């Protein structure tokens, strides 16, 4: 919904949002098309754009902002963790990570022996699911018509719409080994390893759509 009031103006009399969208077009790839608005802040279920208009957020960051925007408990938790330890990589564990995994297993009433895998996105989660299926010997993967499963190569292989899938189908790959001398001479020596991977008919048959 809109919010009454004057909009901010930028260069050449254009509204602030229009100026920001021009900057966006010059600085970012148009992977997702032209953004509908430039959002500047959120509170609860509402967001505001660069021109001061208020909207009821029915997207929720495509269903990931289930707690809304700026909830005090969420803000406090994020600020507290950032002030304590921001990032540790997968080479290390953290107490909140372990506690969250235990909580998820408990809520899901997962069978004994179940484990949690944390992913950065739905794409990465789908990639992990594909790998787990292959590792356990379950070669047939069922994907729904009309489904979209992510933009990585593996996830695109399951995507129904050919316009998304076909341009990024697996192609031949050549691996190269980078070798340096003990005396650290520059430039480093490169030795191509004439190993080429090509998608086989058997690999294609493992991915089916229902």
Task: Report the topology of domain 11-73.
Answer: 3.90.1150
Domain ranges of the chain: 11-73, 139-209
Neighbour tally for 52: CB within 10 Å = 17
Give the list of residues 6+ apart from residue 97 with CB closer than 8 angstroms, or none: 118
Per-residue pLDDT of the chain (210 residues; tens, 9 = 90+): 333 333 444 455 578 999 999 999 999 998 888 899 999 999 999 999 999 999 999 988 887 778 889 999 999 999 999 999 998 888 999 999 999 999 999 999 999 999 999 998 889 999 998 888 888 887 788 888 888 888 888 888 888 888 888 888 776 656 676 654 444 554 444 444 444 444 444 444 444 443
Residue with tokens 């950065």: 120
Residue 105, both tokens = 């297993």
What pLDDT is attached to residue 55? 95
Tokens of 199: 């998608």
Contacts with 43 (C-beta within 8 Å, 6 or more apart), sequence order? 68, 69, 70
| CB-CB contact of 143 with 207 (8 Å) | yes
């Amino acid at each position: 919904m809109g919010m009454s009031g004057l909009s901010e103006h930028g260069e050449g009399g254009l509204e602030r949002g229009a100026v920001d969208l021009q900057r966006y077009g010059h600085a970012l790839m148009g992977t997702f098309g032209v953004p509908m608005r430039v959002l500047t802040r959120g509170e609860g279920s509402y967001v505001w754009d660069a021109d001061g208009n208020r909207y009821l957020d029915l997207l929720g960051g495509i269903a990931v902002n289930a707690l809304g925007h700026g909830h005090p408990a969420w803000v406090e938790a994020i600020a507290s963790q950032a002030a304590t330890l921001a990032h540790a990589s997968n080479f290390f564990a953290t107490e909140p990570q372990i506690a969250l995994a235990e909580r998820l297993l408990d809520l899901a009433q997962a069978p004994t022996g179940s484990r949690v895998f944390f992913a950065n996105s739905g794409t990465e989660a789908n990639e992990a699911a594909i790998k787990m299926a292959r590792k356990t010997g379950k070669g047939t993967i069922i994907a729904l018509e009309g489904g979209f499963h992510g933009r990585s190569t593996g996830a695109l292989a399951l995507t129904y719409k050919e316009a998304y899938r076909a341009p990024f189908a697996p192609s031949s790959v050549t691996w190269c080994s980078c070798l340096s001398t003990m005396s650290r001479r520059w430039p480093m020596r490169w030795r191509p390893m004439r190993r080429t991977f090509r998608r086989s008919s058997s690999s294609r048959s493992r991915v089916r759509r229902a």
